[in-house]
Structure 1
């Protein structure tokens, strides 16, 4: 059983890693190379897809039993997770407009550092001293790389750091929601509730900050219908990324996830 569990976890990590790279590259292509400069709308498309696929998987296909939200406190925790998740993804997408993918990923390597800090602040959980020591060269390396990066952009760097910190905070809070006995939700139900809340946060931001994005997207589709297929495929892949991310966190821990994926 232990061997099977180990291979299952490795498979989840591989699935998350490959799909995450796919979404990252496609986001970079759309936001930078293709010229579709609407990161908030793109993130909202991701969350709409997550809402629809989660509902189909649970309500229609009965992949897992439907779990209900048990308390107001649990509702606010999921809302906070949704908001933090929106910040991490939107900021990450914005940073791709200013930084190359390689440098973006290098900054993302500091996620374990932020995860360890937030895990201690929120759960008072201390890792082994060796774990903390391994974070020092990672953070130092990113600082050195930032100074020598020819494509360095200060605003993009700050936004990417903020996205990394938000991603770490989301992982810690996500781990709490998935493991707390009184408020335990399986990964698919958590995504089912989280995604529509994220759409609720993103919709007004899109309307205010990215005006007429729907009309612009329709106009682009008339000239090049491939933009629709890009958005549909990207959104479906984003659902798979989030699902496997939750599953890996459930079967390991927030800090382990960030160490493996950084």
Structure 2
């Protein structure tokens, strides 16, 4: 703070940069979601091949990540043995590929606004899977919060004007696989001290996704593409779409690295409301009052969950700091005691 309570230039610059990172992430996330919807929806671009779209994304991301890591050396690759790669990265790649496949498929059947409402179940899925895999501890108050979020999403689903059971199953499956992937990252990689930024993550994971997606694509979508003469590559549409998807990964790294994961969670809520408004006003999707009431309840539950996580993190950091201060004080007292003892022995020897 400067004179008269004014903010210093450094603080103002930091605030402006933080808002800039948030704006970039919201814009790119917003663009990728709407762009995918545009490509896959039968009433828009009418190219309903989610496996093919995901394959294109992974192929583009793999190529760019390889160039940045191996050719231009923008980031250094992580030291990783083949054994660790097969046991850790490959399972994560499998989960990621299925999650992307299912989430992109849901855009064919559901509106953008309703998909965002269903995504509010992500904390519920992460917490539940964390308990099943013994990565998290069951707490009655947290579970009550999860139930409140679930009830809110259920109300939103009840009020959905164009409810499609198959689309809901696909999106819930995407949430379940993505939540499992996030928990497995903690178990398989983070616990071993390995952290991957978006570029190295795509460098290792994207090729796995391509392999896992190739076989279902070969049997499910390739025959359809061949028979319907849809097997042409629009470089402008798919090139810009893939570029946005890759840029979004970099924006995530920028936002979390320069601010915090909590900032990203709060920005995600803003993005969801913007998408719901855009879906209603521009795409002309029907958003009912019951939709909004249900999502509002789920939104409050997610907000409380993030608040509780932040409080737990602050308490943990405070305990760690207090323990460090205690250890330093103990060490200082021991040094003083040893000094007094040595001084006493020295006096005795002189006598």
State the TM-score bracket (shorter-chain normalisation).
0.7 to 0.9
Structure 1 residue matching 2:109: 3-state secondary structure: coil
**Is the aligned partner of 1:42 residue 2:57?**
no
2:172 is matched with 161
Instruction: Give the Cα separation in 2 of the matches to 1:167 and 1:2.
Output: 36
Aligned counterparts, 1:15-94, within 5 A: 15-32=24-41, 33-94=44-105
Of residues 172, 175, 181 in structure 1, which corresponds to 2:183? 172
The alignment's TM-score, normalised by the length of structure 1, stands at: 0.82
How many aligned positions are there? Answer: 255
Counterpart of 1:232? 239
Partner of 1:197: 208
Aligned to 1:101: 112
Q: Provide the C-alpha distance between the structure 2 equivalents of 1:84 and 1:5, rounded to a whole number of angstroms.
A: 37
How many angstroms does 1:115 deviate by? 1.1
Which has the higher Rg, Structure 1 or Structure 2? 2
Q: Which residue of structure 2 aligns with residue 224 of structure 1?
A: none
Contact 1:178 1:187 in 2 (8 A): no
Instruction: Quickly say closer, same or farther: Cα 1:210–1:245, change in 2 above 3 A.
Output: same
- Structure 1 stretches of 5 or more lacking a match? 222-226
Q: Displacement of 1:164 after TM fit? A: 1.1
State the distance in 2 between where 1:258 and 1:126 align. 22
1:241 to 2:248 alignment:
yes
The runs of 5 or more residues in structure 2 that have no matched partner are 1-9, 270-351
Q: Which residue of the other structure, out of 138, 147, 150, is the alignment partner of 2:161?
A: 150
Contact persistence 2:198–2:249 (CA under 8 A): no
Q: Equivalent residue of 1:210, what SS?
A: helix
Q: Mean alpha-carbon deviation: is it higher for 30-39 or for 182-191? A: 182-191
Structure 1: how far apart are the matches of 2:54 and 2:204? 16
Identify which range, 130-139 or 102-111, moves more after superposition.
130-139
Q: What residue number does 2:148 align with?
A: 137
Shift of 1:28: 0.7
Write the deviation string for residues 68-97 of structure 1: whole angstroms up to 9, x where unpaired: 422514422211111111111111111111
Does the Cα contact within 8 Å between 1:41 and 1:206 map onto a contact in 2?
Answer: yes
Considering Cα pairs closer than 8 Å and 6+ residues apart, tell me whether 1 or 2 has the greater RCO.
1
CA shift, 1:206, in A, is 1.1
How big is the alpha-carbon RMSD for the aligned residues of Structure 1 and Structure 2?
Answer: 3.3
